[in-house]
Amino acid sequence: MPSLADDSVALGALDGRYRPVIAPLIDHLSEPALNRERLRVEVEWLIHLTQNDIIPGAPTLTKQEQEQLRRLVTDFGADDIAALGEIERVTQHDVKAIEYFLKERLAAIAPASSERLGELIHFGCTSEDVNNLSYALMVRGAIQQVWLPKAQALVAQVEDMARELRAVPLLAHTHGQPATPTTMGKELAVLAWRLGRQLRRIEGAEFLGKFNGATGTYGAHLAAVPTADWQGISREFVESLGLTWNPLTTQIESHDWQAELYADLARFNRILHNLCTDVWSYISLGYFAQVRGQGTIGSSTMPHKVNPIRFENAEANLEVSNALLDVLASTLVTSRLQRDLTDSSMQRNIGSAVGHSLLALDNVHRGLAGLDAAPEVMAADLDANWEVLAEPIQSAMRALAAQGHEGMANPYERLKELTRGRRIGPVDLRAFIDGLGLPEDVAARLRALSPSEYVGLAPELVSHLDSVGHGQKHP
């Protein structure tokens, strides 16, 4: 049997059939992206050292040389990836390969001073000084530039649906049984509100970084230049990258911020999974019709079928994403004594974790975009379940009993006898109301009720979505 293995064949689905959807993450969470950010950190550290006279008597870089060094990062591409790979095959160390790569490029950019300046590349650094900042930059870019805009657009889409359907009556189901009516808009608003709350947590995430040497003591820094304010220099450098400085670490930055972020992402995923199962159920009940943009084959043998595959696909990808996010969050916070390498392998799975979530967002967006509400189906279900009005009748009787009205005793038990285990219609219910001896205004109010009108404040509750900006309007 011929082998299928070549460079064009993907082992995983994200780099195979789903690559077009997750492609924007490649610029942030791939191995080349990691090396680009490592190069960025090394370049910025060299510039920071030389331009702030931190090492007395060291050469400085001209503005043109600084620009050329920064272009190594902005222009980082296929040729650089290949050149870096060649160096790493010799060094067998990825960060050391970046150091040698930059030294080679520096020789061409600043030939007169490159020998002296070259010794300041990676000065005072352990590999984790470079790696932790690189990962923080990568994850920040992936979340803020790729994942968050998609998530915000999806929440806005759900909010728009909630507003549109705010007054469409819906037979609620608790424990799978007919319950007090609500509206479709209010139920979607609940999900949008929950998702939006998690978005606000993710939008406020901190991305921490450290830059303090082999075991977080600045030992090498002080030995080389004892007069420098190394804590101040470290803080200024980390914050110049747009990150939050972590002053107390071992050899590694503790990754607690990553655990916090991944837990929030996983919680968002779980709420989105709940949306998928609810919408799937509404489709199954006929409350939504899949009519728009459905050029797909629903079944290979049943022509009438349009399967809710977008929501099923999203469920599966959310589950894979959460499995990865959970293991990242639970393992990254632990490192034996001052350093072990488990985090190095673990962090290489961040792209897959975020990628499966991004794929789910895309599927849910496409699934919701293909739905039309079917108010007539919802109305028919409501009209077949007049027994749900037992609740307002017994509640009115309780209020009257508390006010001292005669004949209102045991309202719950009387309504239970009338409704439990059997269907009743409007005639049965109104006859029951007429026999209760209610004050005429209360009796008239209850006689006028129908299941589709017994939705309480549901339409008004949707307006709570307007009080907090959860999402951004989708295109």
Q: Does residue 356 have an active-site annotation?
A: no
User: Given 3, 8, 175, 300, which residue is catalytic?
Assistant: 175
Query: For residue 182, what are the contacts with CB-CB under 8 A and spacing of at least 6?
Result: 169, 170, 172, 455, 456, 458
Residue range 406-431: average pLDDT?
82
Mean pLDDT throughout 360-365?
A: 98
- Per-residue pLDDT at 475 exceeds 80: no
Q: Is residue 2 domain-resident?
A: no
Establish if 7 belongs to a structural domain: no
Residues 414, 371 within the same domain: no
Residue 440 maps to which CATH number? Answer: 1.10.40.30
Mean pLDDT for 362-390 is 95
Band (pLDDT 50/70/90 cuts) for residue 297 is low
Least confident of 112-126, 336-350, 432-446: 432-446
Q: Do 338 and 415 fall within a single domain? A: no
Q: Is the pTM of this model over 0.85?
A: yes
In a domain, 5, yes or no: no
Phi, psi for 296 (deg, rounded to 5)? -85, 165
Would you say 80 and 98 are in contact if contact means Cβ atoms under 8 Å apart? no
Is it the case that residue 164 has pLDDT exceeding 90? yes
pLDDT at 228 over 70: yes
Mean pLDDT of 297-316: 77
Do 198 and 232 lie in one domain? The reply is yes
Q: What is the pLDDT of residues 40-63, one digit of tens each?
A: 999 999 999 999 999 999 999 999
The answer to whether residue 450 is catalytic is no
**Residue 473: per-residue pLDDT:** 42
Q: What is the pLDDT of residue 414?
A: 82
**pLDDT (mean) for 423-439:** 86
Distances (CA, A) of 172 to 184, 186, 429: 9, 11, 20
Domain count for the chain: 3
Are residues 403 and 341 both part of a single domain?
no
Catalytic residue among 240, 299, 395, 463, which?
A: 299
In the chain, % of residues over pLDDT 70: 95
Q: Specify whether 218 is located in the same domain as 274.
A: yes
pLDDT at 416: 80
Q: What is the mean pLDDT of residues 27-41?
A: 97
| Interval 253-281 mean pLDDT | 98
Q: Classify residue 288 by its DSSP letter.
A: E
The CATH code of the domain that includes 84 is: 1.10.275.10
Tens digits of residue pLDDT in 262-273: 999 999 999 999
Whole-number Cα distances in Å, 19 to 142, 176, 363: 16, 38, 14
- In terms of Cα–Cα distance, which of 183, 375, 189 is closest to 287? 375
Same domain, 107 and 148: no
Give tens-digit pLDDT for 63-74. Answer: 999 999 999 999
Tell me: pLDDT of 12 over 50: yes
Average pLDDT, the chain: 92
Q: What is the chain's alpha carbon radius of gyration, rounded to the nearest angstrom?
A: 31
Report which residue type is found at 40.
Answer: R
Q: In the block, which residue shows the tokens 């991305």?
A: 207
Residue 421 is predicted with a pLDDT of: 79
CA distance 269 to 372: 24
Do 210 and 356 lie in one domain? The reply is yes
Q: List, for residues 181-209, the tens digit of each pLDDT value.
A: 999 999 999 999 999 999 999 999 999 99
- 184 and 117, same structural domain? no
123 or 306, greater pLDDT: 123
Same domain flag for 296 and 437: no
Q: What is the spatial distance between Cα 105 and Cα 390, in angstroms, rounded to a whole number?
A: 80
- The CATH code of the domain that includes 340 is 1.20.200.10
**For residue 468, is it within any domain?**
no
The pLDDT of 271-288, averaged and rounded, is: 97
Question: Phi/psi at 183 (nearest 5 deg)?
Answer: -125, 155
Give me the domain span that covers residue 90.
19-125
DSSP 60: -
